[in-house]
């Protein structure tokens, strides 16, 4: 039995025309937000972060790989994880094929996680990805840019109040809920100018949805992306854990 309103083609077309106007407003608002994000002032990165990579230790400047822009996704794979977060993994599936197009536009895209490099390499091979993935283990990089939390951040966490997807994701990664929530979804952008690195943009939690291209596609379907599951996955788990966005 159909559980949705059904109308004539003429009535539908009128409603669709009204929605189209709001869609255009949304598009123009998105264009303006993009312009404003690009006009944000830069922040000089003064810490000497060191990352473990497939090619050996590298500085943050070394991650640019000869390009002037660096986009980093803080992939949720903490020290206690045995596998990557399922949601983050679905994102990496979509990002992997974008590399040539980004490289052609002077952008390097890579993943960074808190787990040791060997764990990341094994999971990357299992998933068949080509996207560069580096380890920030032993550094404050993920803590400083919203991709991880200190242990005390989840000290008073009420696990019974969390949506079931959190426990499901924790189980999938091979850790407990607190271990799973020691990490957070985040994206950071940097630029390299005159030999110095500058932070240009950072966002966390639902702010990273622009890196999930399958969501806008699913939004155009009749049932959408099962939005309740989506929000439970990408909203901060409690008020004590505050998103940077």
In angstroms, the CA 30 to CA 184 distance is 24
pTM of the model: 0.86
Predicted local confidence at residue 165, as pLDDT: 86
pLDDT of residue 234: 53
Phi, psi values for residue 85, rounded to 5°: -60, 135
Per the CB < 8 A criterion, the answer to whether 151 and 130 are in contact is: no
Q: What's the pLDDT score for residue 162?
A: 81
Q: Is 179 exposed, middle or buried (CB count within 10 Å of its CB: 0-12, 13-18, 19+)? A: middle
Domain regions of the chain by residue span: 7-37, 43-234
Q: What pLDDT does 152 receive?
A: 76
- Residue 109 — very low, low, confident or very high, per pLDDT cuts 50/70/90? very high
- Angle at the Cα of 206 (from 201 to 212), degrees rounded to 5? 85
Q: 235 pLDDT band (50/70/90 cuts)?
A: low
pLDDT per position as a tens digit, 164-219: 888 889 999 999 888 898 899 999 999 999 999 999 999 998 889 888 888 888 88
Q: How far is CA 19 from CA 15, 25, 27, in A?
A: 6, 10, 12
43-234 topology per CATH: Glutaredoxin (3.40.30)
Question: What pLDDT is attached to residue 132?
Answer: 95
**According to the model, what pLDDT value does residue 232 have?**
46
Listed in sequence order, the residues at least 6 apart from 114 whose beta carbon sits closer than 8 Å to its beta carbon are 77, 78, 79, 135, 136, 137, 142, 147, 148, 182, 183
The pLDDT of residue 122 is 94
Q: Which residue would you say has higher pLDDT here, 162 or 231? A: 162
Structure confidence at residue 233 (pLDDT): 53
Q: What is the pLDDT of residues 4-32, one digit of tens each?
A: 888 899 999 999 999 999 999 999 998 99
228 pLDDT more than 70? no
């Amino acid at each position: 039995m159909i559980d949705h309103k059904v109308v004539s083609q003429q009535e539908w077309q009128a409603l669709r025309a009204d929605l189209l106007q709001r869609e255009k407003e949304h598009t123009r608002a998105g264009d303006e937000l993009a312009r404003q994000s690009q006009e944000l002032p830069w922040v000089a990165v003064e810490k000497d972060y060191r990352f473990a990579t497939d090619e050996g230790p590298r500085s943050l400047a070394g991650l640019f790989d000869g390009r002037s822009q660096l986009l980093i996704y803080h992939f949720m794979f903490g020290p206690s994880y045995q596998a990557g977060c399922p949601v983050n993994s679905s994102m990496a599936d979509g990002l992997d094929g974008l590399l040539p197009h980004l490289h052609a536009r002077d952008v390097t895209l890579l993943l960074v996680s808190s787990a040791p490099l060997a764990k990341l390499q094994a999971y990357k091979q299992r998933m068949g990805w080509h996207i560069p993935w580096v380890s920030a283990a032993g550094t404050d990089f993920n803590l400083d840019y919203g991709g991880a939390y200190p242990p005390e951040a989840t000290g008073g966490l009420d696990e019974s109040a969390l949506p079931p997807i959190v426990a499901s994701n924790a189980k999938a990664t091979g850790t407990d809920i607190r271990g799973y929530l020691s990490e957070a979804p985040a994206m950071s952008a940097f630029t390299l100018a005159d030999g110095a690195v500058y932070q240009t943009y950072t966002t966390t939690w639902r702010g990273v949805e622009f890196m999930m291209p399958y969501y806008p596609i699913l939004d155009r379907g009749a049932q959408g992306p099962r939005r309740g599951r989506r929000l439970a996955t990408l909203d901060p788990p409690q008020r004590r854990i505050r998103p940077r966005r």
